[in-house]
Amino acid sequence: MRVLPLIAVLLLVPAAGCVENGQTTGSEQVAFEDIDKGANSGIEDRRTVVVRSQNEWAQLWQEHTSRVLPPPSAPQVDFQREMVLAVFKGTSPNGCHAAEIQAVVHDDEEDEVHVEGRWIDGVRDAFCTEQITQPYHIVRLERLDGEVHFDMTAVVLDAPA
């Protein structure tokens, strides 16, 4: 009985067409670097953002850090070679909420960027700080000029054992 699932997987792999002679065809995972991640942002609404210019970056950073005195300078980004992706979960009722970018995939054939992430909507059986939060995650990566699609999944995590 355990052979049937294995056969099904082996039959699907060639149809996926993801790898050809050790090279990816069509899409590839893109490395990214955290700029900032945390629980308190000046951005109170749920939002996904693509930044490809210094002016857009300055505006976003100013709004994001609007509650910090004195406001920190925006991290340097070379928009000739890089871009910024950000997810803001919006106002959440406690500290067991988060926003997280998990992967970025570039589809060469379609010239699209797919951002995979999750909204963490709580942690089961966990002690959560009773503090209103605005979870966020901001990353920098190589500049990709295709259309960006965010695929954010809402999850409730189990508390670590």
pLDDT of residue 17: 38
**How confident is the model over 5-19, as pLDDT tens digits?**
333 333 333 334 344
Which H, E and C letters describe the chain, residue by residue? CCHHHHHHHHHHHHHHCCEECCEECCEEECCEEEEEEECCCCCCCCEEEEECCHHHHHHHHHHHCCCCCCCCCCCCCCCCCEEEEEEECCCECCCCEEEEEEEEEEECCCCEEEEEEEEEEEEECCCCCCCCECCEEEEEEECCCCEEEEEEEEEEEECCC
Calculate the average pLDDT of the chain.
87
pLDDT of residue 8: 37
What residue spans define the domains of the chain?
Answer: 23-158
**How confident is the model over 88-128, as pLDDT tens digits?**
999 999 999 999 999 999 998 899 999 999 999 999 999 99
Over residues 21-33, mean pLDDT: 75
pLDDT of residue 161: 76
pLDDT of residue 20: 42
As a whole-number percent, the residues of the chain with pLDDT over 70 amount to 84
